[in-house]
């Protein structure tokens, strides 16, 4: 079922890894205390581990608040099978909008059903429930590329405003990748905040992933250059890049992000890159504005939605995927390293709709 997180295959004829080479950044500054990317023993598969840990239970629990918000509406609506009238549909619209599906997505979601009711068809609430399930599933886009992208190395470029959970998510994914036998490198390209660099380094130490970082205020493009060339020299599989997320300041984030992606493009072919926007579910519809804003800078290939555990606004996932045609790779369900689960649209729809 969960095919998108590929397992690392044994590398045949892996090139000889040179003894720790001295790297030179464009600024002639060596990376600080980097280690060889570690390969850990491959244990059982990534997804079977999730299943063992009660994947669906975790998923459901994480979405409990969203379900709670919707359950009153749904229990009134679906308890007894009856014919749906326009008033019922309008009430449902209101409630879906409140669960943060947003106006556009809610209207698009219900429109075909509403049209049939307006034409005088007699449709029941059971038919409405089945229709809703199918529509929600079709609004949630699936990724058609493998995760992580293969390449020398594959690059995951993380975007998002400060505080959404980018760094934490990078750590969570880095840990999972390591467990799956990938060798991983982190790049601290949010050079604006010393705290951001330190945070990534702390995570790197904790989970045993080398972190390429320069000093605060350094050119983010230079750190990226250094991180990718380091990964190439050491035959690492995946580079995860943390970026700045400041908005509303004189700093031109859009231009900086464009420059950063140009550096990635010079070193790695397009098919080996995935630009991932990280969004905080608690911000609800504001997350949509963030996608709009960041997509001016770079093409966005997928989204990760964090903090689903603390919000009733989980419906925003449907709006994001529908409006921007974006697959959702993972959702964050807490602050700890293991509080990240792959997004599964069937589990998601089952978690928010009654059986």
**Interacting residues toward ligand GDP by CB under 6 A:** 160, 162-168, 245, 306-307, 309-310, 332-335, 339
CA 264, CA 272: separation in Å to the nearest integer?
A: 10
Q: What is the 3-state secondary structure (H, E, C) of 29-70?
A: CCCCCCCCCCCCCCCCCHHHHHHHCCHHHHHHHHCHHHHHHH
Structure tokens at 90: 């309008």
Give the shortest CB-191-to-ligand GDP separation in angstroms: 13
C-beta closer to ligand GDP: residue 166 or 313 = 166
Find the shortest distance in angstroms from Cβ 214 to ligand GDP: 18
Q: Is 109 helix (H, G, I), strand (E, B) or coil?
A: helix
Handedness of CA 143, 148, 152, 158 (dihedral sign): positive
Between 11 and 202, name the residue whose CB sits nearer to ligand GDP: 202
289 phi, psi to nearest 5 deg = -65, -35
Between 155 and 189, name the residue whose CB sits nearer to ligand GDP.
Answer: 189
Give me 201's structure tokens.
């380094």
CB of 32 to ligand GDP, least distance (A): 20
- Which residue number, 117 or 164, has a Cβ lying nearer to ligand GDP? 164
User: Would you tell me how many other CB atoms lie within 10 Å of the CB of residue 147?
Assistant: 23
User: In what helix (H) or strand (E) does residue 90 lie, and over which residues does it extend?
Assistant: helix 86-96
84 vs 351 by CB, closer to ligand GDP: 351
| Residue 212: closest CA among 231, 192, 193 | 231
Residue closer to ligand GDP by CB (options 110, 312) is 312
Shorter beta-carbon distance to ligand GDP: residue 95 or 290: 290
Number of residues that this document lists for the chain: 355
Measured distance CA(280)–CA(317) in Å, rounded = 10
Q: Which is nearer to ligand GDP, 83 or 195 (CB)?
A: 195
CB of 139 to ligand GDP, least distance (A): 22
Minimal distance in Å, beta carbon 274 to ligand GDP? 17
The answer to whether 143 and 300 have CB atoms below 8 angstroms apart is no
Minimum CB–partner distance for residue 344 and ligand GDP (Å):
16
β partners of residue 212? 187
Tell me the residue nearest to ligand GDP as measured from the CB: 332
Q: How far is the CB of 11 from ligand GDP (least distance, A)?
A: 31
Per DSSP, what are the bridge partners of residue 274? 156
Give me the least distance between CB of 193 and ligand GDP, in Å please.
8
Burial class (CB in 10 A: 0-12, 13-18, 19+), 306: buried
User: HSE (CB half, 13 Å, CA atoms) of 94?
Assistant: 8
Whole-number Cα distances in Å, 202 to 21, 93, 139, 188: 23, 45, 38, 11
Whether 136 and 353 have beta carbons less than 8 Å apart is answered as: yes
By beta-carbon proximity to ligand GDP, the closer residue of 235 and 295 is: 295
Query: Could you tell me the smallest distance in angstroms from the CB atom of residue 343 to ligand GDP?
Result: 13
């Amino acid at each position: 079922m969960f095919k998108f997180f590929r397992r690392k295959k044994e590398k045949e004829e892996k090139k000889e890894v040179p003894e720790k080479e001295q790297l030179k950044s464009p600024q002639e500054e060596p990376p600080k205390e980097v280690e060889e990317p570690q390969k850990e023993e491959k244990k059982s598969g990534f997804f079977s581990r999730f299943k063992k840990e009660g994947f669906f239970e975790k998923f459901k629990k994480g979405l409990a608040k969203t379900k709670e918000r919707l359950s009153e509406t749904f229990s009134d609506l679906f308890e007894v099978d009856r014919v749906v009238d326009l008033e019922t549909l309008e009430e449902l619209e209101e409630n879906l909008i409140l669960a943060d599906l947003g106006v556009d997505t809610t209207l698009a979601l219900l429109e075909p059903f509403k049209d049939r009711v307006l034409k005088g068809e007699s449709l029941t609430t059971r038919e409405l429930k089945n229709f809703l399930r199918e529509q929600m599933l079709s609004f949630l886009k699936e990724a058609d590329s493998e995760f992580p992208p293969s390449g020398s190395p594959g690059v995951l470029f993380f975007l998002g405003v400060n505080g959404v959970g980018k760094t934490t998510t990078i750590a969570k994914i880095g840990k999972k990748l390591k467990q799956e036998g990938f060798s991983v490198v982190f790049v601290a390209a949010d050079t604006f905040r010393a705290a951001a660099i330190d945070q990534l380094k702390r995570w790197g130490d904790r989970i045993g992933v080398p972190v390429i970082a320069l000093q605060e205020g350094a050119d983010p493009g230079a750190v990226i250059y250094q991180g990718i060339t380091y990964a190439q020299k050491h035959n690492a599989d995946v580079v995860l890049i943390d970026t700045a997320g400041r908005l509303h300041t004189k700093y031109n984030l859009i231009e900086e992000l464009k420059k950063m992606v140009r550096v990635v493009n010079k070193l790695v072919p397009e098919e080996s890159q995935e630009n991932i926007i990280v969004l905080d579910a608690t911000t609800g519809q504001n997350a949509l504005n963030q996608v709009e804003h960041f997509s001016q800078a770079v093409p966005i290939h997928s989204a990760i939605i964090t903090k689903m555990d603390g919000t009733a606004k989980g419906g925003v996932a449907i709006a994001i995927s529908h409006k921007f045609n974006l697959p959702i790779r993972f959702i964050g369900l807490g602050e700890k390293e293991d509080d990240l689960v792959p997004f599964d649209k069937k589990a998601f729809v089952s978690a928010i709709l009654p059986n």
